[in-house]
Amino acid sequence: MSILIKLSTTLRDMVPGYDPETGLSVSLENGEESVTAGDLAARIGIPLEEIKIIMINSRQSELDSVVHDGDRVAYFPAVGGG
């Protein structure tokens, strides 16, 4: 089972070796069928409190949303500005 993870802005610096062009491919074992977006973020070392928006296959999702084989998961931090 393979999931493609894309990170935005400051979250990229939290994952050593992250390449914004290709993203990060995470392989899950067959027994890991109920992995959530929050589980994936923790697995790659992103503190959950740093994540403001989660998109799974271009649809806004939550930390407790289950991911499936072939999904594309994108994480975005809070954005400030004015």
Annotated domain spans of the chain: 2-76
Where would I find the H helices in the chain? Answer: 37-43
CATH of domain 2-76: 3.10.20.30
pTM: 0.91
pLDDT tens digit at each of 82 positions of the chain? 799 999 999 999 999 999 999 999 999 887 677 899 999 999 999 999 999 999 999 999 999 999 998 999 999 998 766 5
